[in-house]
Structure 1
Amino acid sequence: MSGERLSLLIIGGYGTFGGRLARLLGDEPRLRLLIAGRSLEKADDFVAELRSPKDGSEGLGSSNLGATLQAVRFDRDGDLAEQLTRLRPDLVIDASGPFQCFGQDPYKVVRACIVLDIDYADLADSTGFVASIGGLDAEAQAKGVFALSGLSSLPALSFAALEAMAPRFSRIDAVAAGIAPSAHVKIGLNVVRAIASYAGKPVSVLRQGRPALAPGLIEAMRVTIAPPGVTPLKSRNFLLVDAPDLALLPGRFAGLQSSFTGVGTEPQLLQRLLGLAAGLTRRKLLPSLTPFARLMQRASHGLAVGEHRGGMFVRLSGLDAAGQPLACGWHLIAEGDDGPFIPVTGVAALVRRLLGGVRPESGARPATGELRLEDFEAEFRRFSIVTGIRAESEGASLPLYHRVLGSAFARLPAAIAAMHPGEPAGSARTASGRARVERGSGWLARIVARLIGFPPAGEDVPVTVRFTADGEKEIWTRQFGDKSFHSQQLEGKGRDRHLLTEVFGPFRVLVALVPEGERLRLVVRGWRFCGIPLPLFLAPGGETYEEAREGRFHFHVEIGGRLTGLVVRYTGWLVVE
């Protein structure tokens, strides 16, 4: 099909996912996009908006619009043969849903496409729909067309990440995956209805290698999404959801012991309330949460607080080639409004492969293994989306900063990496240089500085830092002139996972390590006083980083807060002795 014009019928083309797919493919001049739905008026309005979006409209603009757009009416409950024959698409993409609610004949659109020699793909996330589409395989092969189901985050993207990590293992025992949408994303009603349909209901999973039932939106797993070298998402609980992965994984990994797919929404308080409501369904006090789907959607939109970032993870555990325990995780973080485009990147990648002459094999099947992780990442480059893999259990023997940064440690400039090589337990090393020290003048700033032991203000102050290894932590003793103070640095655990923890007296500060060019930025993500969590907006802030400048290690440390103002700022350079 390379060089030819491709006609796509997008069912639900002006909806939540179909609309984003049209925006993502709108720059391709070799495409004819039929924006389809039951309402021709809504389709017309969407096409008009896509051609000339208003200021601030979501997603990709129209400046690069090259595809031919046409609004059409399409009713999946109408005469499918007549509609498809009249529209003559090369590929039908079903972006409607919820697929869990397609009734007694869920595959009628798929069968109509096969009969008319039309290729088919969808964004289904319904376990039954995706897992059972193989029943049409013989018909599709006989006609020489493909029908791919589940070209979404779960299972197409999750399986692509899984396949990228699988070669590291000789045996895989457990697989877990989860999606963490930004609290500011306007979740579509069909998505909410799909989730509500299995809230509190039994979900098929694997436990100790055997099929088991676990309650949807009740069973939980805590995960911190943290691509190497990126400020992690806030640690959160993921509630079990019914996703196609759970049905498809046993066929991919013989002997798999455990499986889990979840969603981790913010604010977590709202998610806890959802879990409590699911408990009512589990105890038969409510037949279903589906009648409350619109209320759930409004609550989600009304409680949009926190960071405008979303993410996803896929985690495997088992044995490596040497038979040693290994855990490996693929992490993704998307900034702002870019996250909601992730579910449609698989279809976009499929379409671009078709335009390049690469066609899937004929047949009807789940879309797992159809695309590689590289295919998705090519689409991610259009957005502020970062991904990375952490070989998590391999870090146990690595130095502290290696463990926290993961593979991003290799991106550090040599002068910074040399300052964090790690030492055998009980050993120490020293670096010395010069510094400039500033102190805050506020009374509260002076109390905090005195409590921790920060040095007095001074110019061209001699400074020495002694790094002492003590098990898995490091003790940093800083000597500014005749004044010294020390802190402990260690790797965060539990909900502080993938963060560097630094302890100053009664204060514990949680820091993300973020390489940026010649700098290593230290971004405060939380803090505690005597073990008590304190509000992040009151945390000690300021620009803090390590920097390689003309081959020498430089530091810039600024500590202050809303209540204290500037406490201390010290800048300078060090050379390892």
Structure 2
Amino acid sequence: MSGDRFSLLIIGGYGTFGGRLARLLGDEPRLRLLVAGRSLEKADDFVADLRTPKDGAEGLGSNNLGAMVQAVAFDRDGDLIEQLTRLRPDLVVDASGPFQTFGKDAYKVVEACIGLGIDYADIADSTGFVAGIGGLDASAKAKGTFALSGLSSLPALSFAALDAMAPHFSRIDNVAAGIAPSPHVRIGLNVVRAIATYAGKPVAVLRNGRPASGRGLIDAMRVTVAPPGVTPLRSRKFLLVDAPDLALLPQNLADLKSSFTGVGTEPQPLQRLLSLAARLVRFRLLPSLLPLSRLLQRASHSFAIGEHRGGMFVRVGGLDHEGRRLTSGWHLIAEGDDGPFIPVIGVEALVRRLLTGVQPENGARPAAGELQLADFEAAFRRFSITSGIRMECEEARLPLYRQILGTAWERLPPAIAAMHAGGARVASGRAQVERGGGLLAGIVARVIGFPPAGEDVPVTVRFAIDGNKEIWTRDFGGKPFRSWQVEGQDRDRHLLTEVFGPFRVLMALTPDGQRLRLVVRGWRFLGIPLPMFLAPGGDTYEEERDGRFCFHVEIGGRLTGLVVRYTGWLVVEG
């Protein structure tokens, strides 16, 4: 350490990700934090802003600045030995980029750090850069230093998620990972430039166990990002991107047959235009999208439409230890502006480890496998970030609600879990039914068969199983109506689908204390998607009250007003 504090130099320290790293570590009194970049003026402005208290910023360095923070000029094209010797950092973190464009002297900063015995880490997302850093391994070991590349979402976090799921498999056949940024997050120019370098160009992937060439921002897969117990992101297509995982996965998984890494942006029509532009590069109508980077960035900022939520997934397929087909998925959702902190959380975890004396092994290598999922999850608690794992065995289907909820099933109160335990069963109890008074509400209620209004109405629900469906026959005082439920497929994946006559309603299952909420995420009439602002809404939930299963179902809409509301309790017979 330099003096009494650990000295950390962040190259690109006032940029999109370097600035967030500085905010994450700003509360650490054991740090001397050097915010570095080519412009000393911009670094000074950032540090001044960091020192200014801001309402609601607790935990991100602004209200509790304990680190010694200093703005410094640093030019990666200048005399690196002189600059590093003068600044005397214990650790250099490169948060600049785009690493894809560093050229023939790509590792000059790493080499300078190793030569001076300074530890190094970066958040590189360039396949070539991350995979190639191992060429400096011998010199790093000889100097007693470490150099970790790719300590970011891909590959550090993705490999941590993969490592958490791997023990469930006897063989892993395929791995896919993707990032879905919030449309309201202002993407940095370097991120856009990085993507533009390979748009429409060959990207090395695995197919059928053999090396193959994918097409950057053209090849796609559809995924619904859905952590257990959280309202999912809307289903979207992820376009193939060139990420370090594509090079590192075959080195770590001998039986791997296919690989994919992608980005899924909103709004999807804008992403389709980006994919069309990539096709122009593929067919050599454009040499590259790199000159259009600023235009692409402005377009992403101008069309910030959709939910202010972002996410990430890692999906693994293969065989379990009994030889059955198994799919496992780790999902993450970040609310609001919290998503862009994820790429630097791995570096934050590394720094906090170093401050406690936990040192990585010496040598230069990719950061895949360097951190565990628990390291990231501990940091997620400072944010509105939720993650979890889903397991799906094709030959041993779980009961419907347990299948959809995944690990969130364990949070259900016993009475709710018992009601959804699966199999044919009968439950009975009492209910109060209220009907809407509007003409359209009455028509909808009659079409579906909702019960008439009544107080203290005897109610019976019979559950039957038909393949992967649950058929619910509800009888309110001798007035039955039927619906059936199933897990959604394709774009409706991880949603509960309930069918009432010609209507199909898609709902997210979200545990909330003693309640299980059913949140409408879409609806259809005769298979035709209908606008969400007209969707049947209302406060619908199940809860445990005094050890008994209780329900509160409310169905209505902007056009109909209240259609029906029924509340009450049920007890499983037998």
TM class by shorter chain equals: over 0.9
* Amino acid in the other structure paired with 2:555: I
CA distance in 2, matches of 1:232, 1:373: 21
Secondary structure, counterpart of 2:351 in structure 1: helix
Indicate yes or no: 2:437 matched with 1:441: yes
Quick one: distance in 1 between partners of 2:395 and 2:445? Answer: 35
SS of 2:505 mapped into structure 1: strand
**Partner Cα distance (2:296, 2:59) in 1:** 25
CA distance in 1, matches of 2:418, 2:171: 36
* Contact persistence 1:2–1:357 (CA under 8 A): no
1:537 to 533, 537, 540: 533
The question of whether the paired residues in 2 share the 8 Å contact of 1:20 and 1:59 is answered with no
Asked if the contact 2:182–2:310 (Cα under 8 Å) also holds between the matched residues in 1, the reply is yes
C-alpha distance in 2 between matches for 1:195 and 1:17: 16
Instruction: Name 2:405's counterpart in structure 1.
Output: 405
Tell me by how many angstroms 1:557 deviates: 0.3
Give me the whole-angstrom Cα distance separating, in 1, the residues matched to 2:271 and 2:102: 27
Q: 1:97 — aligned with what?
A: 97
- Give the SS at the match of 2:158: helix
The structure-2 alpha-carbon separation of the partners of 1:169 and 1:4, relative to structure 1 and needing over 3 Å to count, comes to farther
Secondary structure at the aligned position of 2:460 is classed as strand
Read off the aligned partner of 1:562 and give its amino acid letter: R
1:431 aligns with 2:424: no
Determine if contact 1:2/1:354 at 8 Å carries over to the other structure: no
Amino acid across the alignment from 2:235: S
Q: Equivalent residues in 2 for 1:283-322 (5 A)?
A: 283-322=283-322
Q: Give me the whole-angstrom Cα distance separating, in 1, the residues matched to 2:25 and 2:370.
A: 19
CA drift at 1:60: 2.4
Deviation readout 1:510-544 (Å, 9 max, x if unpaired): 01111111111001111000000111121111100
2:510 pairs with one of 500, 514, 519? 514
Q: 1:357/1:533 Cα in 2 relative to 1: closer, same or farther (>3 Å)?
A: same
From 492, 496, 501, give the equivalent of 2:492.
496
Specify which of 447, 450, 465 is matched with residue 461 of structure 2: 465
Deviates more, 1:78-87 or 1:455-464: 455-464
The aligned counterpart of 2:136 is 136
Task: Determine the structure 2 residue equivalent to 1:371.
Answer: 371
Distance 1:86 1:3 in 2: 14
Match of 1:64 in 2: 64
Q: Name the CA shift for 1:227/1:2 in 2 (closer, same or farther; >3 Å).
A: farther
TM-score between the two structures when normalised by the length of structure 2: 0.98
Partner residue in 1 for 2:419: 419
| Cα offset, 1:58, TM superposition | 11
Matched-pair contact (CA < 8 Å) for 1:221–1:239: yes
Task: Check the 8 A contact 2:27/2:60 in 1, yes or no.
Answer: no
Asked whether the equivalents of residues 4 and 355 of structure 1 are also in contact (C-alpha less than 8 Å), the reply is no
SS in 1 for 2:24: helix
Q: Distance in 1 between matches of 2:174 and 2:449?
A: 47
The structure-2 alpha-carbon separation of the partners of 1:275 and 1:198, relative to structure 1 and needing over 3 Å to count, comes to same
* Conserved? CA contact 2:2–2:90, under 8 Å: no
Q: Which amino acid aligns with 2:69?
A: L
Gapped runs of 5+ residues in structure 1? none
Alignment of 1:76-95 (within 5 A): 76-95=76-95
Q: Is the 8 A contact 1:395 1:403 kept in 2?
A: no
Give a deviation string over 1:275-323, Cα, whole Å, max 9, x none: 1110000000000001111111111111111111111111111111122
Q: The residue matched to 1:60 in structure 2 has which SS?
A: coil
Alpha-carbon contact 1:3-1:356 (below 8 Å) kept: no
> Using the alignment, how far apart are the partners of 1:4 and 1:572 within structure 2?
64
- Of the structure 1 ranges 332-341 and 46-55, higher mean CA displacement relative to structure 2 is found in 46-55
Report the secondary structure of 1:293's partner residue.
helix
Report which stretch shifted further, 2-11 or 63-72: 2-11
The offset of 1:68, in angstroms, is 0.8
**Which residue in 1 is equivalent to 2:149?**
149
Q: CA deviation at 1:397?
A: 2.2
Aligned to 1:407, what secondary structure does the other structure show? helix
Report deviation, 1:473: 0.7
CA deviation map 1:92-138 (0-9, x unaligned)? 00000000111220111111111111110001000110000111111
SS of residue in 2 equivalent to 1:96:
coil
Aligned to 2:11: 11
Distance across 2 between alignment mates of 1:519 and 1:57: 31
CA–CA distance in 2 between the matches of 1:31 and 1:4? Answer: 9
Q: Secondary structure at the match of 2:474?
A: strand
Pair 1:224-2:220 in alignment: no
Equivalent position amino acid for 2:454 in 1? G
Which amino acid in structure 2 is aligned with residue 273 of structure 1? L
Give distance in 1, aligned partners of 2:299 and 2:30.
41
Cα offsets for 1:333-375 (capped at 9, x unmatched): 1111111100000000000110111001111111111111111
CA displacement at 1:394 relative to structure 2: 5.4
1:422-454 per-residue CA deviation (whole Å, 9 max, x = no partner) reads 11xxxx422111111111112211111111111
Secondary structure of the structure 2 residue equivalent to 1:175: strand
Q: Distance in 1 between matches of 2:287 and 2:200?
A: 10
Partner of 1:563: 559
Equivalent residue number for residue 573 of structure 1:
569
Superposition RMSD in Å: 1.5
The match for 1:452 is 448
Asked whether the equivalents of residues 206 and 258 of structure 1 are also in contact (C-alpha less than 8 Å), the reply is: yes
After superposition, residues 268-283 of structure 1 pair within 5 angstroms as 268-283=268-283
- Counterparts in 2 of 1:185 and 1:40: CA distance versus 1, 3 Å: same
Residues of 2 paired with 1:26 and 1:267: CA distance? 34
| Pair 1:196 & 2:196 matched | yes
2:288, 2:282 → 1: CA distance? 9
Distance (whole Å) between structure 1 residues aligned to residue 323 and residue 225 of structure 2: 27
Letter matched to residue 226 of structure 2 = A
CA displacement at 1:61 relative to structure 2: 5.1
SS in 2 for 1:14: coil
The alpha carbon displacement at 1:14 in A equals 0.3
Q: Which residue pairs with 1:214 in the alignment?
A: 214
Which residue in the other structure is 2:327 paired with?
A: 327
- 2:227–2:332 Cα contact (<8 Å) kept: yes
Q: 2:41 aligned with 1:45, yes or no?
A: no
Structure-1-length-normalised TM-score: 0.97
**In 2, distance between residues paired with 1:334 and 1:106?**
32
Q: Write the letter of the residue equivalent to 2:155.
A: P
Measured after TM superposition, the shift of residue 255 of structure 1 is: 2.6
Task: State how far apart, in whole Å, the 1-side matches of 2:204 and 2:224 are.
Answer: 25
**What is the aligned partner in structure 2 of residue 476 from structure 1?**
472
Provide the secondary structure at the position in 2 that maps to 1:111: helix
Contact 1:59 1:337 in 2 (8 A): no
Q: Is the 8 A contact 1:395 1:402 kept in 2?
A: no
Contact 1:328/1:390 (8 A) holds in 2:
yes
